[in-house]
Amino acid sequence: METHTIQWGDHRLELGKNTCVMGVLNVTPDSFSDGGKYLSPQDAIAHGERLIEEGADILDIGGESTRPFSEAVSIEEETHRVVPVIEALAKRVQVPISIDTSKVEVARKALEAGASIINDISALRSEPDLADIAAQYGVPVILMHMKGTPKTMQISPVYKNLIEEIKSFLEERVLFATSKGIPRSRIIIDPGIGFGKTFDHNFQLIKHLRAFESLNLPILVGPSRKAFIRKTICKDDLSPEAPQVESGTQAAVAAAVLAGAHMVRVHDVANTRITLKIIDAIKNA
């Protein structure tokens, strides 16, 4: 497997030998899995610390749900949700904090509060000036593929060639990012499981993940608790927090890592750490 080192500020990520775990912290009332659970800053801060105790290498904090058919929230509301949490956690934890946003002003305030990675599901398309902020602050960016917007992405997504289209999209967005002064050494790509894909597309993406290695960049995959797992286990759907869904998530994590993922974005860090102890050992044998 290709290895990558990302170094910036006081942080360094060694990617390849051991899989990096990004813990999800949604400070939202309506996220598909944990919406409303960590809306108060106190609850969010406590959960963030818990994720790090369980072994998270990065905390990914978001204040706007991007589940299918979700509505956007204002800059003010998103900032109000995330900044106090980032500010408090940045003083208490050593791991890098990622801000999950597509908005320039939210990212700026988050970085000022102590975040040090930008995770943009729009791959710098929604607000292209976000690239300037990333370059200015010298932070890594995660560029994700999404067809449409969260509100429209799951309305009959169609591809002529799934892998090639997503790869071309990511290649183009990486070129845009580097043209804005973000070095390739600070770019992570995410094929966007569940974002404008059918269930079959998601399974194909995980199966053929190695195709993205030709981009020579770290690959992030986020399958955690998503509908393609839930509906495959049970046609009537299951609660995202059902134990069977977590088992399904761990199967997807294991498959993704063996297929070339360097990082996984998950809700349950403790279970993922157990899975990765075995999968990384197999991978490195």
In this predicted model, what pLDDT tens digit does every residue of 49-81 receive, in sequence order?
Answer: 999 999 999 999 999 977 676 677 899 999 999
DSSP string, 216-242: -S-BEE--TT-HHHHHHH-TT---TTS
The answer to whether 99 and 107 have CB atoms below 8 angstroms apart is yes
Report pLDDT digits (tens) over 231-283. Answer: 999 988 788 889 999 999 999 999 999 999 999 999 999 999 999 999 999 99
Active-site positions? Answer: 226, 265
Checking DSSP bridges between strand 117-120 and strand 97-100, what pairing results, if any? parallel
Nearest Cα to Cα of residue 269 among 47, 86, 4: 47
What six digits make up the tokens of 42?
């106190």
State mean pLDDT over 160-167: 97
The answer to whether 194 and 230 have CB atoms below 8 angstroms apart is no
Q: Global pTM?
A: 0.94
Report pLDDT digits (tens) over 87-140. Answer: 999 999 999 999 999 999 999 999 999 999 999 999 999 999 999 999 999 999
CATH label, 18-284, candidates 3.20.20.70, 3.20.20.20, 1.10.3720.10, 3.40.50.720: 3.20.20.20
Instruction: Give me the amino acid identity at 75.
Output: I
Report pLDDT digits (tens) over 199-219. Answer: 999 999 999 999 999 999 999
User: Considering Cα of 195, then 199, then 204, then 209, what sign does the dihedral take?
Assistant: positive
What residue ranges do the domains of the chain occupy?
A: 18-284
